């Protein structure tokens, strides 16, 4: 991990990298940095000036007044005006510095949050499957903040460096012997800050890494709350979280301990300087080498620079954390594997169904990619951010290569089949046979290692992003519903989808009945992940979302698994233009029902006999190979594996029907499968 790399690197590396990161920040925001630095330089120079003004006031106004026994009112007023002017100048400088630093820090944070989010959207599904959501959240939050943490004190530190140079110069101008105190103290201050930063580096890196890990565990626990609760795993999860939280606590305490040791030392050094100046100064005064004005000025100088000098320490101490955060950001920003889009568009004017062709398609997941493919539940979140920029277009007519051919275990072998326009093809096969992978390839979530997937004869890799999403839609088994209204969940802010189109899509998805009964109809808020809806309702809502875009190819990856079989059959029949009567118990809002012609070709991963029977053709897959194609009855007769599988499905379905029988009498009518399971 990046954090480990930082922790493992030498502190000198960290310092150099940290300074480079500060350079990137200045390059990104040169104007704001200039304003902040100018404010800081004014402030710092006026600090040096204030010491000399105080010296002059003491030497030229206070001491003479004490000697004479009366004050010169004019001189006192002049002194007051000088002190006020210096203070006002410092206030203005401080204002510019703070405002500029704040602007710079928050603008950089916002810009990098956008970059990270955009990159997430560009990276392929395989990359997302390899990264924990909690870590991604931590990248976009805590790591972005960490990377730009030293920006807040940076202008102050720059001004302080100028101040130290000015202070040294003024010391030498005043008296070279007094200047030696500065020669001893200033480099010591700087050296102490550097040692501090080096000691801090591994501690800060570790703390930043632990922040990411705690975030990942917390996210996983909350996400899996249902499993944790139903399996009685609360204690185990709490312990797992507590271990990581404990490690983060220890890492932060170790940071605090070091701070506790170094902060007082950094504060004490300038005080030692003041002491040194007073000792040396007393001798120099008695020798007549310096005046009282000069001595007071120099002593005061050491007192007032104690605070600004710490700004250098703040920047140096935060650099390791900044480097750790930055490197974690870089793992996202420089991640490879995106699948560049082509520049070919498909003509949608005809609104005819598309033809999908798989020709000798082979595919393997990269070796490091674990777990099973779960195609994302939704195409894209409704975000106000502009769409992720499409990487540089490929030359016209060329086929971008996308993900490089992986050397992992082959999952699909020379898969060939066609979904003709307006036809429904059912994909059937045992678990793990590659059905979801085929679905993912059909809408180009992944690219084949060999062979081609074409839409209307055009390789999907050469299509533009907009053309791909306008022509195809995938509905996954696990539906993703946004915490928004029903309307927004269906339209996703896409143009040309008014309420009429929303209702038409809901009707096709057999979702109009339940939406009509919701308290606010289309304006009903469905809660986080659609918590206010049943599993089957969520599935139908996401199906309506896909249909609202009027895709020319619809890929259903077990998308109606939680819906009652009769409702599922009604949906498929409607999609095929054979609108059946609404299932009992669910009121249709009427209108365009039955009027929608099949403008889409359908590839459906099917598990139920009723669904399979509706298909024009069945493609039967085993171990990533197509072992049979034809109608349901042909395959039953010719392919023993298929016959056995479908019979098993039928038996399971019959058992479920039997178990479900009592629930059918519930007043809500035909409940979705998950409702019944939950209610059981």
Positions that interact with ligand ATP (CB under 6 A): 129, 365, 369-373, 411, 429, 431-437
Question: Can you tell me the distance from the alpha carbon of 441 to that of 459, in angstroms, rounded to the nearest whole number?
Answer: 11
Contacts of 269 (CB under 8 A, 6+ apart): 185, 188, 189, 192, 306
Cβ proximity to ligand ATP: between 276 and 429 the closer is: 429
Please state the separation of Cα 425 from the chain's center in Å.
Answer: 37
Cβ proximity to ligand ATP: between 346 and 460 the closer is: 460
Q: Concatenated DSSP letters for 147-172?
A: HTGGGTTHHHHHHHHHHHHHHHHHHH
| CB contact burial 635-660 (16+ within 10 A = b; e otherwise) | bbeebebbeebbeebeeeeeeeeeeb
3-state secondary structure of 581: coil
CB of 424 to ligand ATP, least distance (A): 18
614 and 602 Cβ atoms separated by less than 8 Å:
no
CB of 431 to ligand ATP, least distance (A): 3
CB of 375 to ligand ATP, least distance (A): 9
CB of 253 to ligand ATP, least distance (A): 39
Cβ proximity to ligand ATP: between 350 and 370 the closer is: 370
The residues facing 344 across adjacent strands are 463
CB of 611 to ligand ATP, least distance (A): 14
Tell me the C-alpha to C-alpha distance, in Å, between residue 362 and each of 51, 358, 393, 410.
78, 10, 25, 7
Tell me the C-alpha to C-alpha distance, in Å, between residue 116 and each of 134, 196, 263, 292, 338.
14, 31, 35, 60, 14
417 and 625 Cβ atoms separated by less than 8 Å:
no
Cβ proximity to ligand ATP: between 586 and 622 the closer is: 622
Cβ proximity to ligand ATP: between 128 and 259 the closer is: 128
Residue with tokens 């040692």: 195
CB of 667 to ligand ATP, least distance (A): 34
Contacts of 569 (CB under 8 A, 6+ apart): 580, 610, 611, 614
483 and 529 Cβ atoms separated by less than 8 Å:
yes
Cβ proximity to ligand ATP: between 271 and 372 the closer is: 372
Q: How many CA atoms lie within 13 A of 352 on its CB side?
A: 10
CB of 369 to ligand ATP, least distance (A): 4
CB of 104 to ligand ATP, least distance (A): 41
Cβ proximity to ligand ATP: between 411 and 547 the closer is: 411
Calculate helix-pair angle for 306-333, 154-174, nearest 10 degrees: 150
**What would the two tokens of residue 470 be?**
């306008």
- Residue 151, judged by CB atoms within 10 A of its CB (0-12, 13-18, 19+), counts as buried
The total number of residues written for the chain in this structure = 680
356 and 553 Cβ atoms separated by less than 8 Å:
yes
Q: Phi, psi at residue 399, to the nearest 5°?
A: -110, 110
CB of 496 to ligand ATP, least distance (A): 33
Q: Phi, psi at residue 468, to the nearest 5°?
A: -65, -45
Cβ proximity to ligand ATP: between 445 and 481 the closer is: 445
Cβ proximity to ligand ATP: between 435 and 608 the closer is: 435
557 and 445 Cβ atoms separated by less than 8 Å:
no
The residues facing 356 across adjacent strands are 419, 455
Cβ proximity to ligand ATP: between 372 and 517 the closer is: 372
Cβ proximity to ligand ATP: between 262 and 607 the closer is: 607
CB of 432 to ligand ATP, least distance (A): 4
CB of 561 to ligand ATP, least distance (A): 10
446 and 405 Cβ atoms separated by less than 8 Å:
no
3-state secondary structure of 472: strand
CB of 367 to ligand ATP, least distance (A): 8
CB of 130 to ligand ATP, least distance (A): 8
Cβ proximity to ligand ATP: between 104 and 373 the closer is: 373
Which residue, among 166, 157, 153, has the nearest Cα to 46 in the 3D structure? 166
Tell me the C-alpha to C-alpha distance, in Å, between residue 56 and each of 53, 91, 320.
5, 21, 43
CB of 625 to ligand ATP, least distance (A): 12
563 and 539 Cβ atoms separated by less than 8 Å:
yes
CB of 429 to ligand ATP, least distance (A): 5
Tell me the C-alpha to C-alpha distance, in Å, between residue 639 and each of 45, 464, 611, 646.
89, 39, 19, 11
CB of 436 to ligand ATP, least distance (A): 3
61 and 76 Cβ atoms separated by less than 8 Å:
yes
First to last CA, the chain: 46
- Cβ neighbours around 248 below 10 Å, total: 20
CB of 646 to ligand ATP, least distance (A): 14
Which region, left, alpha or beta, applies to residue 300 given φ > 0 means left and ψ of -120 to 50 means alpha?
Answer: alpha
337 and 459 Cβ atoms separated by less than 8 Å:
no
Cβ proximity to ligand ATP: between 436 and 469 the closer is: 436
Cβ proximity to ligand ATP: between 574 and 605 the closer is: 605
β 617-622/424-428 pair status: parallel
Cβ proximity to ligand ATP: between 429 and 583 the closer is: 429
For 525, which DSSP code?
Answer: B
Cβ proximity to ligand ATP: between 53 and 428 the closer is: 428
Cβ proximity to ligand ATP: between 372 and 597 the closer is: 372
């Amino acid at each position: 991990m990046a954090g480990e790399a930082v922790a493992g690197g030498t502190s000198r590396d960290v310092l150099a990298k940290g300074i480079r990161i500060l350079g990137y920040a200045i390059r990104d925001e040169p104007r704001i940095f200039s304003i902040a630095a100018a404010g800081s330089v004014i402030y710092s120079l006026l600090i040096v000036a204030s010491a000399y003004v105080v010296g002059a006031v003491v030497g030229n106004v206070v001491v003479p007044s004490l000697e004479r026994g009366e004050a010169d009112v004019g001189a006192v007023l002049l002194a007051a005006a000088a002190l006020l002017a210096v203070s006002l100048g410092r206030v203005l400088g401080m204002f510019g510095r703070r405002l500029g630093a704040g602007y710079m820090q928050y603008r950089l944070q916002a810009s990098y949050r956008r970059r990270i989010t955009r990159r997430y959207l560009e990276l392929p599904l395989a990359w997302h499957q390899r990264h924990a959501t909690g870590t991604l959240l931590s990248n976009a939050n805590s790591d972005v903040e960490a990377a730009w943490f030293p920006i807040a004190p940076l202008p102050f530190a720059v001004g302080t460096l100028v101040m130290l140079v000015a202070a040294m110069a003024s010391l030498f101008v005043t008296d070279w012997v007094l200047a030696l105190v500065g020669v001893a103290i200033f480099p010591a201050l700087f050296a102490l800050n550097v040692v501090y930063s080096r000691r801090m580096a591994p501690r800060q890196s570790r703390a930043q890494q632990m922040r990411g890990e705690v975030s990942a565990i917390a996210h996983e626990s909350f996400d899996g709350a249902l499993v944790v609760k139903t399996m009685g795993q609360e204690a185990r999860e709490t312990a797992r979280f507590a271990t990581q939280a404990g490690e983060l606590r220890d890492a932060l305490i170790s940071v605090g301990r070091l701070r506790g040791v170094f902060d007082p030392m950094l504060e004490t050094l300038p005080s030692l300087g003041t002491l040194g100046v007073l000792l040396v100064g007393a001798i120099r005064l008695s020798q007549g080498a310096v005046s009282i004005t000069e001595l007071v000025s120099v002593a005061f100088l050491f007192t007032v620079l104690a605070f600004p000098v710490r700004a250098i320490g703040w920047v140096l101490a935060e650099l390791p954390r900044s480097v750790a955060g930055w490197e974690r950001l870089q793992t996202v920003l420089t991640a490879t594997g995106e699948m560049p889009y082509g520049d070919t568009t498909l003509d949608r004017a005809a609104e005819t169904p598309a033809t999908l062709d798989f020709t000798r398609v082979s595919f393997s997941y990269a070796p490091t990619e674990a777990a099973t493919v779960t195609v994302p539940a939704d195409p894209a979140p409704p975000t106000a951010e502009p769409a992720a920029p499409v990487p540089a277009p490929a030359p016209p007519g060329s086929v971008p290569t996308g993900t490089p051919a992986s050397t992992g275990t082959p999952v699909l072998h020379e898969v060939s089949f066609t979904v003709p326009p307006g036809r429904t093809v059912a994909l059937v096969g045992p678990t793990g046979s590659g059905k979801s992978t085929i679905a993912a390839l059909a809408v180009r979530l992944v690219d084949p290692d060999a062979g081609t997937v074409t839409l209307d004869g055009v390789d999907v890799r050469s299509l533009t992003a907009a053309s791909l999403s306008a022509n195809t839609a995938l509905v996954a088994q696990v539906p993703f519903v946004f915490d928004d209204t029903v309307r927004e969940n269906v339209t996703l802010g896409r143009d040309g989808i008014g309420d009429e189109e929303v209702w038409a899509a809901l009707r096709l998805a057999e979702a109009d009945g339940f939406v009509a009964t919701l308290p606010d109809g289309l304006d009903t808020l469905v809660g986080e992940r659609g918590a206010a809806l049943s599993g089957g309702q969520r599935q139908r809502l996401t199906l309506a979302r896909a249909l609202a875009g009027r895709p020319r190819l619809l890929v259903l990856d077990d998308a109606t698994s939680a819906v009652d079989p009769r409702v599922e059959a009604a949906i498929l029949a409607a999609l095929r233009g054979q609108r059946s009567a609404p299932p009992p118990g669910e009121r249709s809002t009427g209108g365009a029902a039955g009027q929608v012609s099949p403008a889409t070709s359908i590839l459906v991963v099917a598990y139920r006999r009723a669904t399979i029977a509706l298909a024009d053709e069945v493609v039967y897959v085993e171990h990533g190979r197509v072992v049979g194609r034809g109608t349901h009855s042909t395959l039953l007769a010719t392919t023993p594996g298929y016959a056995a599988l479908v019979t098993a499905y039928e038996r399971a379905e019959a058992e479920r029907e039997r178990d479900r029988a009592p629930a059918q009498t519930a007043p809500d009518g035909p409940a979705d499968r998950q409702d019944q399971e939950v209610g059981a």
